[in-house]
Amino acid sequence: MSRIASDTVSSMNTGAAKLRAHTALQVMPAEWRWLIIAASLLTFFGFAPLLWFAIQGTGDFQFMGTLMNPLDGGTYLSKMQIGFNGSWLVTFQHTPEVHNGALIQILYPFLGHLSRLTGIPIQVMFHVARLGATLFMYIALYQFGAAVWSKVRARRLFFMIVSLGAGFGLFLQPLFQQTDFPDLTLPEAFPFYSSLMNVHFPLTFALLAVLGAMLIAALRPGAESDNTADRALPFAALNSLGLALIYPQTLAPLGIALLLYAAFDFIQQQRLSRRLIAWLLSIGLPALPLFIYYTLVVSTNSAMNAWNVQNQTPAPPLPVFLLGFGIPLVLALPGIWRAMRRFEADGDRLMLLWLIAMLVLIFLPTNVQRRYAAGIMIPIAYFATRAVEDVWLRYVNRRRRNLAFALAFAIMPISLLFVLVAPVIGFAMNPQTTAGILLERDYVATFAWLRPRINRDDVILAAPAVAIWIPGYADGRVVYAHPYETLNAREREFQVLTWYSDNATLEQCSALLEEYSVRYILVGPQERILGHSPCIEGLTKIAEAGSVTIYAP
């Protein structure tokens, strides 16, 4: 009789575990409707400045393709142009040296190939892909919440915190005289902010959320008796490969967290878990060949090595970094403390180890500290939601909960709202301050004149704000445009600024043109801001597009 009862209890427990897993992962139709509306609204707001420029018009100026961080925007279009030309190997077109390419940042050459096949201009394809990646990101983030919580309220709460959560940077920047609060300068840490920047940031968030949801389901108590979660192993491998291709730094903290999770599990169980080993291998092995390749490329390709050395992204001081996560981090503290105190073998342990691994890597003395913060809002929002559900709601009267939620979600995204509208405010106040985002229309006509007359290795001299767009629009090289992708960037920048300055010597004029085999020189409004260079005297005037003149040595 006791054996029958024991078998019955065991069966009931197994059934309950399966039911919990099923309930936690399933998203009901009503939720999908809510999610589609919420994701569409967030995406619309993210694209609103772009629509504003399209409706308002930019007068004598031309929108060049990206509203946020035009320096990097120009490099994305350059890499898309490489793909449009039929290549997969990336070369840095913002430097005058011809060099061997490498299979890095492959997403943008892929979009260039897609642009050529579909006939969609690369500038439009960039935003089409950004739109798709953003919607995918929001869906994946909600699915992550569904993998953790069975309550719809908790799922929506997680979604809102992870999507809109930000810090106190806008308020504290004037007080501390710090310009590098994460919520103002670190888009890869915040989903909404990432959706404003490019394609690979929101896509990275999406892949991390999907992979996190798989791991949560696999590590849930009772999952050992149900192999449903293990069916996702091939998809986890594909996710890992995708992350290794578009943002490899994200796999380092996640991989460390999984290794530590397995180590603690071995200490407790005194045996190796085959399931954990399978998950570690499915995530680690697909990425391993690419990590080996990246290491070889950086060590054997001099251009890639120089780029890697210049690619410095230091983290801000720890207090500034933490304040950049504001209310979400404050809300998360009880959840983090509970996970540390209990250290249960479930999602809490994994999220805690992931968060700790991120923080450690961010503050290690490497040249890519900030890169390790990509996706950090996922564990922060996870613990914030845990804490709200288990702790904070106890202190809020039921009648006032809606008001408390409204106030919190009104304050949390203020820094993100500022980042969103900053380009619009800048243009409304003075279009000249948006150089790089906008250029005088005569430059676009100049690029159109150049494009059929140059090949991709011809070097053009122009002001940095103009040169950043030349590879993407005219498909040539430039002397200086980008602090990372122009080799010997500081020296080149000084040379270009000196060449266009009033004080340039004839020796400096001829030395630059000869050293980099410059084929064409542009002189327009942006170059005249730098000075009225005596270097222009003696050049041959080739063509003119309104306010921009094209010269040859």
For the chain, what is the mean pLDDT? 90
Q: Which tens digit of pLDDT belongs to each residue from 228-237?
A: 778 889 999 9
CA of residue 365 relative to chain centroid, distance:
21
Residue 436: both structure tokens together = 């790089």
Sheet-wide strand order for 477-478:
477-478, 459-461, 518-523, 548-552, 540-545
CA of residue 388 relative to chain centroid, distance:
28
Across residues 520-547, what is the average pLDDT? Answer: 94
* DSSP-assigned letter for residue 58: -
Crossing angle between the packed helical segments 122-148 and 29-56, to the nearest 10 degrees = 150
Q: Are 493 and 480 in contact (CB under 8 A)?
A: yes
Q: What is the pLDDT of residue 433?
A: 67
Q: What is the pLDDT of residue 24?
A: 45
Structure confidence at residue 12 as a pLDDT band (50, 70, 90): very low
Task: Tell me the three state secondary structure of residue 209.
Answer: helix
Q: What is the pLDDT of residue 15?
A: 41
DSSP notation for 480-523: ---TTTSTTHHHHHHHHHHHHSTT--HHHHHHHHHHTTEEEEEE
Higher pLDDT, 477 or 223: 477
Q: What is the pLDDT of residue 3?
A: 41
Q: What angle do CA 219, 223, 226 make, to 5 degrees?
A: 145
Domain boundaries in the chain?
23-63+121-420, 438-552
Q: Which tens digit of pLDDT belongs to each residue from 291-343?
A: 999 999 999 999 999 999 999 999 999 999 999 999 999 999 999 999 999 99
